[in-house]
Structures are given as structure tokens and as C-alpha cells.
Amino acid sequence: MTRETPLTVAVIGAGIVGLCAALEIQRAGHRVVIIEPDEPGGRQAASYGNGAWLSPAAIMPISVPGLWRKIPRFLLDPTGPFTIAWRDLPHLACWLTRFILAGRSWRRIETCVAARYPLCKGTVTDHAALADEAGVPQLITREGLIFVYRDRAEFLAEAREWRMRAALGVRFSEIAEADLRRLLPQLGPAYRFGARLDDGGQVADPGAYCRALAELAFKRGAMRVAAGATGFTIAGGRLSAVETEGGPVACDRAVIAAGIGSRALAVQAGDAVPLISERGYHVVIPDPGIALAAGLMPSDGKMAVVSTPQGLRVAGQVELAAVSTPPDWRRADILLGFARTMFPALAETFDSATIDRWMGHRPSTPDGLPCIGAASACPDLFHAFGHAHTGLIQAPATARLVAALIDGRKPPFDPSPYCARRFGG
């Protein structure tokens, strides 16, 4: 269903969420202008450096009951899987308080999980369809995803989370040690049990995928303004333009999908969203001597380990710090250390390789949910940001929801959990 009179919609940001939104808005019959100062799919984007997983099981928020007890350790241990930069603690204090409160009970977690699942459940099918349209079907693989554990007891320690997934229809199968060895003969002896997400998948090359989606949008008539968005022209409560570094861009509607840069724009749109950078790192080991059919995640590291055309990518870590804080490349070295533990026979190969290290800013809200929907100051402005480390997974469903809201159509699922007004202005 399309509107009789097409609108001009400005999409601010050409990361994976913005690109999916642009394509979905075009599908509804509208003209699209993409406002993005950098090249789509470039290293500057969180979409470039993510773990490449497409997981319908990515329903758990980071903050869960009891996490608050670990905050001192996060502050004291700069090499742990979750760390908080001391120098930025004053800046992060209010966000951290909301973060801890969001995970204070399992009832609240169950509510969050129920809201996250509609954004995650169709991710593999959705991305496969988009890749087909863009002419790059080979960039989406559907071989499942495997969590590896030191033993079954470690898996059972996460039984509550797995029960939540199963209750929503997420299919998984347990992998005993003998079967794990057959599937992954090079996996180190430290890992003796696995859980396979049967319906999981992977983007082989996130940067190339984003570039392909951008090219598809441009072939379908989208225009690009190579400038940063700085604000909005609103008169009589209606939007007439997005202000940019290169001048105003006339439009009828606008979507804020600028990743970590969305916070300042959201304030101008009437919503003071507590958005910070959940900084993520990756290392890529070229010619690693191993090719994984399915992505892996070690239980003791909680990072994605995937094969890409550039090499073995190990991506993850949670570092809460200001955007302006310089990268702490020890985080990347931790990832490399896990690669050695997972594949000890290849450690010498890893050590002699020229490692590509990357850090990016994942836009995170304290309650584990993105902001999707109309802005408070103007009904012509729409939020589509704050997906943290699951932007790739949640992008297609976010795009469908935003496109429906722009058109005033019945949304594909309840948008109320993602309303920016939940943060109280």
C-alpha cells in the first residue's frame, strides 16, 4: 500500500538502520534523500565493524538482576569484557543509574525481551530478501550460529535466558563434545559443549552489504546529501527542511537514524534521550588458517567470531566511555587473546599476522530498547536509533515500523515500547 501523493523523506544516517529505512520508505512510494557525510559502509560506521551475526535470539538486554554488584569490578578491571572508563564516570553516572534500574527485576527483563523479539525474529529472512534485491545474495549465510561453553554446567547457568528464547519460538539444539569436535575440529579443548541457534545467520561482509544496499537505494532514485545534519526547520508545528552543514534540505518527513549522532538531533526534536556510546572493538586476522561455516560465540568472552572475506573477525567487548575518549587498544588485544584460546593450534599464525584493529560507537539507551516512532516536537520527525550492538539484527523490522508510522498505516507490531517519551523528555 502506498500513499496517493508521494512525500519527500529525509533519512539522516546511512548506517544499516538508515539504509533499511530508506529502502522501506521507497517501497511505500516516497522520494528519499539520504543525509550522510561519509561513504555508506565505511569504517567510521558502527555498521561496518559489528559482529556480523543475524540472531533471532538477540533478545536479552545487558542489564539483568545482580549486575549492579559487578560495577566496582567494571571500574577496576580495564581488561574485562565489560568496562567503564573512570575518567568518564561523571558523564555516565545518570545513564548508569537508569541502566541498573532497568535490570533490577526479572519481570522487567521479561517485558524488555517481549519488546525486543519483534525486532529480531525475522532478521535472517529479512536480510536475505534485501541481499537478493541488491544483487548480493552471497553476503547472507544461513548456517546457524553456535555458542560454545566450557561444559554443560556453564550452559545450564544460562538456562533462564534459553528458556525465554524457547518460549518465544527460538529454536536451538544442544551439541555434545563429540559432535562439537566433528563440527569444529580446530576448536581448543577448553570448550566442550555447544548450543546451536538453528535459524541464525551471518552477514559475510557488513561493509560491502551496506554499500550494496546504498547502491540499491540510489538506483531506485534516492539522492544523497554528503553533509552532516545539524537541525530542523519547523514552522507551525510542521517540518519543512533538515538543516545541514551544506544548507537546508527540503522535505516533508525526516527519520533520525544517525547512530551515536542522533542524541543532539533528538533533543532538537523534543526528546532528551539518554544515549551513550557502548564502544565496541574488533580484530580481523587475515589468512587465519580456518574458515568457519557458522559464527561462534565463546561463553567466557561473549564476542562474535566469524569468517569474513578479509579474515577471521573477532568482535565484541562493552566499553562505556565518552565518544571523545581515545580508543583503548588493549580491548582489541583481549579479543585476539580469545582467538588464541579458541584455536590454540593456530596461535602462531595469528601472532605473525598483520592484525586490523577497529573501534566504533554503538548508540545505546539504558533500558535495552531503541527509540522508534514520532518525535515529541513535531509529528513529521521520526526516531530510529539506539539499537546498541543489535542494529544489524533489528534494522529491517525497525525500517518496516518507521515506514508504516510515516504513512499512518497499521504498524506491523506495537510501537509503544520504543517511544522516546518513556525517558520523560
Residue pair 279/359 in contact by the 8 Å Cβ criterion: yes
For residue 183, count other CB atoms closer than 10 A to its CB: 16
Right CATH number for 67-102+138-199+276-364 from 3.40.50.150, 3.90.1200.10, 3.30.9.10, 3.40.50.300? Answer: 3.30.9.10
Q: Could you state, in order of their start, the residue ranges of all structural domains in the chain?
A: 1-65+103-137+200-272+365-425, 67-102+138-199+276-364
* Number of DSSP helices (H) and strands (E) in the chain, helices first: 14, 21
Residue 220 DSSP one-character state: T
**Topology of domain 1-65+103-137+200-272+365-425, CATH:** FAD/NAD(P)-binding domain (3.50.50)
Label residues 399-410 b or e (16+ Cβ within 10 Å = b): bbbbbbbbbeee
pLDDT of residue 1: 47
- Nearest in space to 363 (alpha carbons), one of 11, 10, 17, 9: 17
The C-alpha cell at 410 is 497499521
- Nearest in space to 305 (alpha carbons), one of 341, 359, 278, 353: 341
- Nearest in space to 10 (alpha carbons), one of 35, 36, 39: 35
Task: Write out the chain's pLDDT in tens, 425 residues.
Answer: 455 689 999 999 999 999 999 999 999 999 999 999 999 999 999 999 999 999 999 999 999 898 777 777 666 666 667 788 878 888 999 999 999 999 999 999 999 999 999 999 999 999 999 999 999 999 999 999 999 999 999 999 999 999 999 999 999 999 999 999 999 999 999 999 999 999 999 999 999 999 999 999 999 999 999 999 999 999 999 999 999 999 999 999 999 999 999 999 999 999 999 999 999 999 999 999 999 999 999 998 889 999 999 999 999 988 999 999 999 998 999 999 999 999 999 988 888 889 999 999 999 999 999 999 999 999 999 999 999 999 999 999 999 999 999 999 999 999 999 999 999 86
Residue pair 406/28 in contact by the 8 Å Cβ criterion: yes
Amino acid at 394: Q
Q: Quick one: 281 exposed, middle or buried, by C-beta within 10 A (0-12, 13-18, 19+)?
A: buried
Beta-bridged to residue 264, according to DSSP, are none
pLDDT of residue 148: 97
